[in-house]
């Protein structure tokens, strides 16, 4: 790893990585910068394989790290638990169980349940984290939990503070990711409410929270809500709603921020023909249901932001969004966006593209596991979850 790339990791726009210097503007210390990539052997080339880092989880649908230097890997199980693995130990431990709060999940492909989590940027000191689940009425809940000992404790179910609830007219297209952005605000991805062809007319409806990426301030509740509205949200005081950051989505099953540039990468699951990847900015309308990918769907018109990539159902049927690679190991893969597809078959692909939509160096067909989610460890190495076998893998050199 060259010095520029190592420095970029520590200067990430997102939460600081383990080993990066912390402090405030009044800190006059001359402590040396600790390289988060120390001890990691960087390699050239693009040949990758998967290495197991933990097993024994049930239906993994989200993978996160706490950004607290512990190098723990946290896994959301669709039926209501958060499990975790310690660095170098593949034993799955239960950290939180909210199964009683979460709707019962059915067979393969059920889109309800416990869908995602995000750690507060100051988790190491305040112990706060946030979850996205469907309650027993199958409506969306975004809630805060707190753990008294962030380094080694377990959260109390009774610490739940419900931040936001959104009614869901159907049991699919509920989205599936929440993240804190480079600005410290919480972003929430929600689908169009379900059904086929935008059944409920939410894709271009400015007056619903559905079919959107929302942006809220969980630290400063206001106006009787459990959250505040950031003052620079793009639609304050006009349609769409104040919480809206990006709209016109069908089902952003997984999306993420580039930890170096802050760019928002959205994998939006398509209808019957096309899966798409968008790199979105504040106020963008991604066009559903007027468009599916680059193509017209129902013929309506508007000022839409083009996707950067699409693929047809001869290659996959339901995109699983991933991450832009910013890790320590692969020098030649820096800046490539890795993603997969939930194919309802024994094996998913592992693909990559560049920010301009060009196919990257990895386009290798199946990887031998069924990928419903991807993640990053604290160093930025890419993780994949096998939904069928309940195992977590890290992308490593071949």
What pLDDT is recorded for position 2? 28
Q: Per-residue b/e over 275-310, b at no fewer than 16 CB within 10 Å?
A: bbbbbbeeebbbbbbbbbbeeebeeeeeebbebbbb
Pull the structure tokens for residue 5. Answer: 């790339």
300, 290 in Cβ contact below 8 A?
yes
The pLDDT value given to residue 357: 86
What pLDDT does residue 363 have? 52
Strand, helix or coil for residue 310: strand
Burial (CB count <10 Å: 0-12, 13-18, 19+), residue 342: buried
**Positive/negative CA dihedral, 285, 289, 291, 296:** negative
- Give the model's pLDDT for residue 23: 39
What is the model's pLDDT at position 93? 97
Q: Which domain holds residue 239?
A: 3-397
Whether the bond between 289 and the residue before it is cis, its omega within 30 degrees of 0, is yes
> What is the predicted pLDDT for the residue at 108?
82
Residues of the chain with confidence (pLDDT) below 70: 1-33, 344-346, 361-365
Q: Calculate Rg over the CA atoms of the chain.
A: 20
3-state secondary structure at position 269: coil
pLDDT of residue 71: 95
Total domains, the chain: 1
- The CATH number of residue 301's host domain is 2.120.10.30
Q: In the prediction, which pLDDT does 310 show? A: 96
Residues 83-121 pLDDT 10s: 999 999 999 999 999 999 999 998 888 899 999 999 999
- Other C-beta atoms closer than 10 Å to the C-beta of 382 total 28
Please give the model's pTM, rounded to 2 decimal places. Answer: 0.91
- Are the beta carbons of 17 and 380 closer than 8 angstroms? yes
């Amino acid at each position: 790893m060259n010095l520029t790339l190592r420095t970029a990791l520590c200067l990430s726009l997102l939460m600081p990585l383990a080993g990066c210097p912390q402090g405030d503007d009044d800190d006059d210390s001359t402590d040396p910068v600790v390289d988060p990539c120390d001890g990691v052997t960087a390699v050239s080339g693009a040949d990758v394989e998967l290495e197991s880092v933990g097993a024994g989880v049930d239906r993994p649908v989200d993978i996160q790290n706490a950004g607290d230097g512990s190098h723990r890997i946290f896994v959301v199980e669709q039926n209501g638990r958060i499990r975790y693995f310690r660095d170098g130990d593949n034993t799955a431990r239960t950290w939180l169980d909210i199964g009683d709060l979460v709707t019962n999940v059915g067979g393969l492909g059920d889109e309800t349940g416990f869908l995602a989590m995000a750690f507060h940027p100051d988790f190491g000191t305040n112990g706060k984290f946030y979850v996205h689940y469907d309650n027993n009425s199958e409506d969306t809940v975004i809630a805060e939990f707190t753990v008294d000992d962030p380094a080694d404790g377990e959260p109390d179910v009774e610490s739940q503070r419900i931040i936001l609830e959104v009614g869901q007219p159907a049991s699919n297209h509920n989205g599936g990711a929440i993240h804190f952005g480079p600005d410290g605000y919480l972003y929430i991805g929600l689908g169009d409410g379900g059904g086929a062809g935008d059944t409920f007319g939410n894709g271009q409806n400015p007056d619903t929270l559905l079919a959107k990426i929302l942006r809220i301030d969980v630290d400063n509740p206001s106006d009787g809500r459990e959250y505040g509205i950031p003052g620079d949200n793009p639609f304050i005081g006009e349609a769409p709603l104040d919480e809206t950051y990006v709209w016109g989505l069908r089902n952003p099953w997984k999306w993420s921020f580039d930890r170096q540039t802050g760019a928002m990468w959205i994998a939006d699951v398509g209808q019957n023909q096309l899966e798409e990847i968008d790199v979105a900015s504040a106020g963008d309308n991604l066009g559903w249901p007027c468009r599916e990918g680059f193509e017209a769907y129902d013929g309506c018109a508007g000022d839409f932001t083009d996707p950067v990539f699409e693929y047809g159902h001869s290659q996959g049927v339901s995109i699983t969004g991933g991450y832009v690679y910013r890790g320590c190991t692969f020098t030649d893969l820096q800046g490539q966006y890795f993603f997969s597809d939930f194919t309802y078959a024994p094996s998913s692909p592992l693909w990559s593209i560049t920010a301009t939509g060009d196919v990257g160096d990895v386009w290798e067909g199946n990887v031998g596991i069924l990928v419903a989610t991807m993640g990053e460890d604290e160093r930025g190495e890419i993780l994949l979850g096998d939904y069928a076998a309940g195992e977590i893998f890290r992308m490593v050199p071949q």
